[in-house]
Structure 1
Amino acid sequence: MSDTHAWKVAARREAPTFSAVVLAAGLSSRMQGQHKLLLPVEGQPAVRRTVSALAGAGPAEIVVVTGYKGRAVMEALDGLPVTFQSNPRYEEGQMTSVAAGVAALTAPCNVVMVCLADQVLLDAADYRELIDAFTAMPRGSILVPFFKGQRGNPVAFSASYAAEVVSGHVNPGCRKLIAEHPEEVFVYEVAHDRFTVDMDTPEDYARIQERLSDASECARRALS
């Protein structure tokens, strides 16, 4: 069966049930004293904007992994349909948060999506696009979005990998993942850069604010 035919056959399969792990434990060490997840983005904390968009994509469950200023992150998400998992080892690196979040999942699902809490430009349709792409991919069990050669996020993987992710044997966030597991990883080429934009520095934050302001102005003019 050709890859093209396999893709078309797979595209007719029913979309899988997915759960999401949101990584919100980091130190924001490059944000010059500010906690990036609590910075306002169009009137709400960045982390709330991200998780609200994700919730709109219809996951079976959302686990938010907390660490640095965990209480403030939890308060910023008050009222949203999430559960929280504290990671006392968050300073040891992102993989400890991935493992903690995946281990905390309880709802049955076919796919796990690991999301970055500072990807504030993604909307619900973007997350659904990745799940649809996972359903339709012709091979592999891990999907990684790319835009013009740049690796993006979130990463989605078959729930059958959960035990290996929790144990640390598979790191879906690892930059070497494609090289180490080429037969398992499907590179999904996306049509825009929102999957590659996050918010690590004050300069990133300023660019995102400007971009959102420009988009709002364009929308306002279109309606006037």
Structure 2
Amino acid sequence: MTTGIIVLAAGSSSRLGQAKQQLVYQGQTLLQHALQAALDSTGTPVIVVLGAKAEAILPQLDSTQVQVVLNPAWSEGMASSIRTGLIHLQQVSSGCTAALIMLCDQPFVSSDILNRLIQAHQENTQQIVASSYQSTLGAPVLFPEKFFAQLLQLQGQEGAKKLLGLYASEVISLPFPAGATDIDTPEDYAALKAGETK
């Protein structure tokens, strides 16, 4: 029973004004931090989906450990990156029983959080396992193989969250309060850095 990890990092960070993948926090870029958490977890393989600014981001990645996939349709929205990552996962790991989808802008994601999601999947193999924070469910989120077809049908700005609503009775939630912190604006990043210096 193996869980592949897909890190979504193809967006243009339009609200931020610079590539969020390259923002530095605690000595690493946000993307490097996300990938390290994935690599330190029990999930394998680790796939990162790049799109906007891929040329600038690629040199900062260790491509010996992670599989880099380029999404030429990144401007369509998050759905295209989910499809790109999942298609690659199915090609390189045909025995994969689940896909864990991560974002690159949640600085408090750790291998421990990811391992708890994977462990919950192993105990409930047909259930979606989502993180819960601020009265909502979201990423990182794990989907068993039976939901892959639905993930591949997502369009435009639709994220995996759509499926959490459609299949609410099949979702297990794990508390991850710090998951509410993500970096979308300069103010978000300033607040994160301010917390770092306390």
Shorter chain as normaliser: what TM range?
0.7 to 0.9
Partner of 2:141: 155
What TM-score comes out, normalization by structure 1 length? 0.78
Equivalent-residue separation in structure 2 for 1:96 and 1:110 (angstroms): 21
- Alignment of 1:179 with 2:165, yes or no, is yes
| 1:59 Cα deviation from its structure 2 partner | 1.7
Contact 1:25 1:67 in 2 (8 A): yes
- Alignment of 1:98 with 2:85, yes or no, is no
| 1:87 Cα deviation from its structure 2 partner | 0.8
Partner of 1:51: 35
Identity across matched positions, percent: 29
Gaps of 5+ in 1: 1-15, 215-224
Q: How does 1:88-127 map to 2 (within 5 A)?
A: 88-105=72-89, 106-107=92-93, 108-127=95-114
Which of 212, 217, 222 is residue 196 of structure 2 equivalent to? 212
| 1:79 Cα deviation from its structure 2 partner | 4.9
For the aligned residue pairs, the C-alpha RMSD in angstroms reads 2.2
Letter in 1 for 2:14: S
What TM-score comes out, normalization by structure 2 length? 0.87
Gaps of 5+ in 2: none
Letter in 2 for 1:30: R
For the structure 1 residues 58 and 140, does the alpha-carbon distance in structure 2 shift closer, same or farther, using more than 3 Å as the test?
Answer: closer
Which of 7, 26, 31 is residue 42 of structure 1 equivalent to? 26
Contact 2:7 2:34 in 1 (8 A): no
Count of residue correspondences: 194
| 1:116 Cα deviation from its structure 2 partner | 0.1
Partner of 1:17: 2
| 1:175 Cα deviation from its structure 2 partner | 3.7
User: Larger Cα Rg: Structure 1 or Structure 2?
Assistant: 1
Contact 2:138 2:161 in 1 (8 A): no
SS where residue 129 of structure 2 aligns?
strand
